[in-house]
Amino acid sequence: MEHAATPEWAMLAYLIAGVLFILSLRGLSSPETSQAGNRYGMIGMGIAVGTTLLLHPVGLPFIIGAIIIGGGIGYYIAQNIKMTAMPELVAGFHSLVGMAAVLVGCAAYLNPAAFNILDAVTNEIHSASRIEMGLGVAIGAITFSGSIIAFLKLSGRMSGNPIMLPGRHIINLGILAGILGLIGYFVTDQSAWVFWTITALSFAIGFLLIIPIGGADMPVVISMLNSYSGWAAAAMGFTLGNTAMIITGALVGSSGAILSYIMCKAMNRSFISVIAGGFGDAGGPAVAGAAIAKAYKAGSAEDAAFIMKNAESVIIVPGYGMAVSQAQHALREMGDLLKAEGVSVKYAIHPVAGRMPGHMNVLLAEANVSYDEVFELEDINSDFSQCDVAFVIGANDVTNPLAKTDKTSPIYGMPVLDVEKAKTVLFVKRSMGGVGYAGVDNPVFYMDNTMMLLADAKKMVETIVKNLGH
């Protein structure tokens, strides 16, 4: 293809940017190297932007103005966002990447000459570029509207419950087939209606795909959208023949795909069933869980403080509830007081605790919990049988032993934390009413060695801290 010669130095510069992006992800293999990794990413982006501006030095004042406006807004948000709001922030950012991809696609369609994708003979857009453009716009639009819904659900502006449309599978498959068919047709006919219909249908399908997905499945959704934003960038990279964009797209695309895979595995759900939606619907399973009042033991903060003070080891299991009530700082204080009493304190994190991959780790890091006290499921699960107290706060489904034994349970087969093996289980929960997102009752509540601490997570932990403190 005659991509009118990008000079060699510029091709090299884009390649270097791509390599720096690889290094930036590589840095995240450990917390020590992560800051350096982030800097590589910034340098790579600087090189990519700088190179492009040197190649196209037209209208600079407007462009720099646009960068300053956008950059200022982004920086302001980044500095002021609460750590508990990280999932919706990431979803919001994904939507921007998606929209940017759509806009670039539209701009390329309207002014193909500027993108060097015009065939000199026919004066039409190259057919290969049309496929790339179509795919890029479609993926970008799906990323945008899907992320907007994810953002609204995560930030509580829209109910986290799945919204089920009748016949939605048929509608969705029909629209998807329509989009693919139109992208194929676009090769033979570059009329405006084809392009705009692809765009409109893609916006619609993104919206329709995400509304039936419930809150507990958000970690998968947000990883999936992360992946899409990468593929959108890659498709545009093909259009422009730009290595930096292609390498980045491939990196981000695989990253999101791997995270989705990890999240699905941690819930023992197939990707298809997550996308099909409806998990955590108030229907079926909740009936089984609508418990006949069973006997449980309730305790007070004073009891809890006494038990933990006299324990040798405590494992804390945080979940989404901890994030909601912002209990992480009080929790760290509780951990410090216990350590001062000579108790060993560890944290156990289930991969899907929270609303996005690694959510709990960030919150604990924010509260100054040292990362070498925080353990992943497979590294700590065998420790529960030897520990004195499992302190579960705001987690439910991820501790449910039915996942190991009850084949009829909707969470059967999901890897869970074996809290029931601890000598004592202290379970902080708002009330006995709610039964987690899967709508399943948890037998741990009714065990003889379990004490339910029924209160708001933060208030409960603060009271325990007071009782430990005297």
Active site amino acids: 397
Q: Quick one: 78 or 200, whose CB is closer to another protein? A: 78
The phi, psi pair for 377, rounded to 5°, reads -45, -55
Shortest distance, position 242 Cβ to another protein, whole Å? 6
Residues in a beta bridge with 425: 390, 450
Shortest distance, position 313 Cβ to another protein, whole Å? 17
Tell me which H or E stretch contains 317. Answer: strand 313-318
Q: Quick one: 110 or 290, whose CB is closer to another protein? A: 110
Q: Quick one: 108 or 428, whose CB is closer to another protein? A: 108
Shortest distance, position 354 Cβ to another protein, whole Å? 9
CA distances from 313 to 275, 335, 395, 456 (A): 41, 11, 20, 24
Shortest distance, position 15 Cβ to another protein, whole Å? 9
Shortest distance, position 123 Cβ to another protein, whole Å? 14
Q: Quick one: 104 or 301, whose CB is closer to another protein? A: 104
Cβ neighbour number for residue 433 with a 10 Å cutoff: 8
The phi, psi pair for 86, rounded to 5°, reads -55, -40
The number of CA neighbours under 13 Å toward the Cβ of 216 is 25
The total number of residues shown for the chain amounts to 470
Q: Quick one: 42 or 291, whose CB is closer to another protein? A: 42
User: Angle at the Cα of 126 (from 191 to 177), degrees rounded to 5?
Assistant: 55
| Three-state helix/strand/coil letters over 15-55 | HHHHHHHHHHHHHHHCHHHHHHHHHHHHHHHHHHHHHHHHH
Q: Quick one: 92 or 277, whose CB is closer to another protein? A: 92
Query: What is the spatial distance between Cα 267 and Cα 252, in angstroms, rounded to a whole number?
Result: 23
Q: Any residues with CB less than 8 A from the CB of 374 and at least 6 apart, and which?
A: 346, 347, 349, 361, 364
Shortest distance, position 279 Cβ to another protein, whole Å? 21
CA distances from 260 to 75, 247, 253, 352, 398 (A): 28, 20, 11, 11, 18
Tell me which H or E stretch contains 220. Answer: helix 218-240
